[in-house]
Structure formats: structure tokens, C-alpha cells
Amino acid sequence: MEYSGSLLGRSAIEITELAVDADYEGKGFGRQLINVALLITDDVRKAYIGVEHLVACVDPMAEQFYLHMEFQRLADYYDIQREGWNRDCVPMVLRLPDI
């Protein structure tokens, strides 16, 4: 899904940490974790607030995984302040389907 206009002020839930041990990469666990995050996000947005996006600040090594999961680079639209732990991250966003 393509974005148009500004995303500033849009509601989002952030995945702050999500990782799969290197011994288990490529076995579908990352996809399962994203699917669980989406289920939780759906529950929250249906019950409490109208969340429109799922965002994550991802390790550059995981960027292709997130692109495959239909996330888009947030920096393609606007950038976020990065320092400390997230200095080298790649901000990603997934627009959630309308409910």
C-alpha cells in the first residue's frame, strides 16, 4: 500500500524489540512473531483506539525481512530522531488494513 501525504500525527503501535536467535532464522519464527504482533494490535485497535500503523526500528540486517512482510521504510516519508540504542536502526512502517 502506498502512502500519500504526511504521516505525522497518525496513531501507531511500535514493536520495540523483536528478534529471532540466529540458530532459528529462516524457519518462520520471525513471521510468526509479526503475526502475533498484528493480532495484538488488532485487538487493541478494535477495543480501545483506532491505530493505523505498526512501526518498528529494525536492525539493518533485518530490513529485507520487514520489506518482505510488507513494511515500508519510514524514512521514505519522514525520519525519526535516532541516538543511543537505535542510532543505526532502519525505521519501518506497516499500514494496517481498515477495520
Domains and CATH numbers, the chain: 12-95 (3.40.630.30)
Distance between CA 21 and CA 30 in Å, rounded? 10
Q: What is the pLDDT of residues 33-84, one digit of tens each?
A: 999 999 988 888 888 777 888 888 888 999 999 999 999 988 766 666 666 6
pLDDT, position 1: 42
H/E stretch holding 22 reads none
Q: What is the pLDDT of residues 27-43, one digit of tens each?
A: 999 999 999 999 988 88
Enumerate the β-bridge partners of residue 53. Answer: 12, 95
* pTM for this prediction: 0.77
